Structure 1
Amino acid sequence: MKLFPEKLPQRLKQGLDPVYLVAGQEPLLIEEACDAIRSGAREAGVAERIVLEADARFDWSQLGSATETSSLFATQRLVEVRLPSGKPGREGGSVLRDFVGRGGDDILLVKCDEWEIRSESTAWVKALDAAGVYVPCWKVKPNRLPQWIAARMRSRGLNADAAASRFLAERLEGNLLAAAQEIERLALLYPGGQVGLQEVRAAVADSARFDSFRLVELVFSGQPGAALRCIRGLREADTPMPLIVGALARELQTIGSFQLLSRQHSAAQAFTALKVWKSRQQAIADAARRLSPRVVRESLSQLSELDQLSKSTGRDAFWLCLERLSVALATNRPEYCAA
């Protein structure tokens, strides 16, 4: 049964389904749906969880061997299969179909971080859909983002007017993780209250000095000194490193794609193809003119190293590498991209 994320909590209140498939292109919605299922399982007395990381080298026989023996501590377990690519292959699809076909007491949760609409027509997805609940987590369309923000605020005890929701939607440009963080900040500042455009503007101004979006603005507008000060502020605030990498990567990928498309198409056509928000088009165009394609390519390569550092224990190395990359982008000097 297909069930969109906003309907999942009510479904879980009615009890657990034997199978959950959570898949899509929006990381925040995917993770929150999985968290809701895990929480629902715990509340239902499912105390044991088996987690299988089904990457390209995964041995699918592990799914059967991990569940064929009875648990010493629980009669029911949550079996979580994390499938980053969203594609189990022929063998994996067959194993998943067989698993749900056998039934049993265990609850199966399959989490897919990459997804295409055509995946819904595959045999293994149809089997999981028929046996339980399929939760598609698509990106929120721009024209629906203000409504999503307003609903999110209501869930946090805030009553936002339309102008406040539109302002946040325009500023955050579809980044649901950043939107969720802004809303949590507003909930702390105005607990249980009315939030208008003035309150939202004030909260954003208070937080803008050292947030990831501010770093992106400084780097791509060519302000190396201010960018370095911003990085120090991010470090002192213990800002999550993957959040910083993600913000830089999205902007840099857009700039690189715009540089390629604008060689054969008009700027307007390129922005339409890339689905760039109108409020960001001028900044993207300016950065694309200022940065050489070489700097963009080498910076994207450096971002891959930053991403690895953000997931390791090398905190000092991450911040040093981030400073060098930011200076390279702010000054258009490729030599700073070198490790």
Structure 2
Amino acid sequence: MKIYHNQLTKTLAQGFIPVWLVFGDEPWQKDNSLSTIKAAAQQQGFSELIRFNTESGFDWQQLMDEYQSMSLFASQRIIEVEFSTTKVGDAGNKALVALAERLSEDIQHKHYANDVIFIFHGDKLDGPSANKKWFKLFSQIGCYLPLYDVELKSMSHWINQQCQTLNLNLAPELTQLLIELFEGNLLALAQELQKLSLLFNQSLITLEQAEQLVIKQAKFNPFQVVDSLLLGDCGKCIAMLDQLQQEGIAPAKIIWALHKEISQLYNMLNQLEQGESINQLYKQYRIWDKRKPLYQHALTHIKLPDVKQAMIRIADIDLLSKTSSEFNVFILLADLCITLYHGDKTQALSLKYG
């Protein structure tokens, strides 16, 4: 079974689930999911928690041994397994398949006493890992909870849900400010809401009251810069680049992501000029339905000459970032974003600004 974070409470209320698979990179949802699952289990009498971490040298046989052993402290146990990497190797694959098959057999023949809950969690699963036999077996007898970033359009709803839980009363304009400041960083936003709850209780919190307390903690990654660039929001790209610079991210990570995307746009625009349909391109480049509107905008608003100029500029930026410390690479990357949509305005400018 597969569910999403907003279905977790309802799913827990439906009855006992022996295995939970919680994988993803969004920290607030991960912390919230794990604590919610454990709290529900503890209410059912699961008072003992055994933790494992699959770091280098981990003995995978310990999981089977723990499952088969009798607890000295409690009749009901939670066995939590944190994956240091989702690539578990041959030994891990074999041990996990054996454990999953044993659990499946015990449940099928009603030998399973509902006295053990397994919680497996780690970073986002890639396609090959999600297709492993052990993962499919556990998914059949348990629940897979993938964790994704909350999209900008859903942030207001998410804040409203948290406000209901915390009995917070926010002015509408304050909600919009929080969305702007904390986009991409739910963990910090959740902490900020808890702080406001402690300070104001159930009183209406106005923008003026809160803005002196709220600290800008938006957290972005290079792929969010790419998405904003595809949508043509150069202002937002520049704001993200400024934030990434303050966080100390290596420029090479951003350069790599932008180079990859601009090269693909160049190929796609060339193929469109040669008569390929946009749907054929979506299939060829494996563009998910969710991302098609981004490419629809980019491919209809970006001109081929501007992409060619952007490709030259990002090559120059890459070289400058490796050979000189005289230039602010993030300013050059901001120039690149503008070039992709307004190449006629930046063509005359030198990347070296002097």
Classify the TM-score, shorter chain: 0.5 to 0.7
Moved more, 117-126 or 248-257: 248-257
- Which runs of structure 2 are paired with 1:74-85 in the superposition (5 Å)? 74-85=74-85
Change (3 A) 1:178 1:107: same
Say if 2:60 and 2:91, in contact at 8 Å, map to a contact too.
yes
Whether the 8 Å contact between 1:259 and 1:293 is mirrored in structure 2 is: no
CA-to-partner distance for each residue in 1:202-253, whole Å, 9 max, x for gaps? 431xxx4xx877xxxxxxxxxxxxxxxxxxxxxxxxxxxxxxxxx9898322
Equivalent residues, number = 240
Aligned-pair CA distance for 1:19: 0.6
Aligned counterpart in structure 2 of residue 157 of structure 1, from 167, 174, 178: 167
AA of the residue aligned to 2:26: E
Structure 1: 5+ residue stretches without partners: 214-246, 274-287, 297-339
Structure 2 CA distance for partners of 1:196 and 1:250, relative to 1, 3 Å: same
* Amino acid of the structure 2 residue aligned with 1:55: E
Q: What secondary structure, in the 3-state scheme, does the structure 1 residue paired with 2:55 have?
A: coil
The equivalent residue for 2:21 is 21
SS of the residue 1:166 aligns to: helix
**1:231-279 Cα deviation digits (max 9, x unpaired):** xxxxxxxxxxxxxxxx98983226443456678998xx9xx99xxxxxx
Deviation track 1:72-98 (CA, whole Å, cap 9, x = no partner) reads: 232221111111212323332332233
Aligned counterpart, 1:126: 136
Residues 90 and 149 (structure 1), Cα distance of their counterparts in 2 relative to 1, 3 Å cut:
farther
> How high is the TM-score relative to the length of structure 1?
0.61
CA distance in 1, matches of 2:190, 2:182: 10
CA distance in 1: counterparts of 2:85 and 2:192, whole angstroms = 29
Please identify the structure whose Cα radius of gyration is greater.
2
Q: Is 1:257 paired with 2:286?
A: no
CA deviations over 1:256-312 (Å, ceiling 9, x no partner) = 43456678998xx9xx99xxxxxxxxxxxxxx99x965899xxxxxxxxxxxxxxxx
CA–CA distance in structure 1, aligned partners of residues 44 and 184 of structure 2: 34
Please, which moves more after superposition, 86-95 or 176-185? 86-95
Aligned AA for 1:115?
L
Q: Give, in whole Å, the separation in 2 of the partners of 1:121 and 1:265.
A: 27
CA contact (8 A) 1:20 1:133 kept: yes
Say which SS state the counterpart of residue 50 (structure 1) adopts. strand
Note if 1:92 corresponds to 2:92. yes
TM-score normalised to structure 2 length: 0.58
Distance 1:264 1:13, change over 3 A: closer
Instruction: Report matched runs for 1:119-198 at 5 Å.
Output: 119-198=129-208
| Whole-Å separation in 2 of the counterparts to 1:265 and 1:12 | 41
Alpha-carbon shift at residue 127 of structure 1 (Å): 1.2
Structure 2 residue matching 1:253: 3-state secondary structure: coil
Q: Distance in 2 between matches of 1:201 and 1:50?
A: 43
Rounded Cα–Cα distance in structure 2 between residues aligned with 1:251 and 1:150: 28
- For 2:29 and 2:246, the matched residues in 1 are separated by 18
Q: CA 1:40/1:196 → structure 2, altered by over 3 Å: closer, same or farther? A: same
Q: Which amino acid aligns with 1:74?
A: A
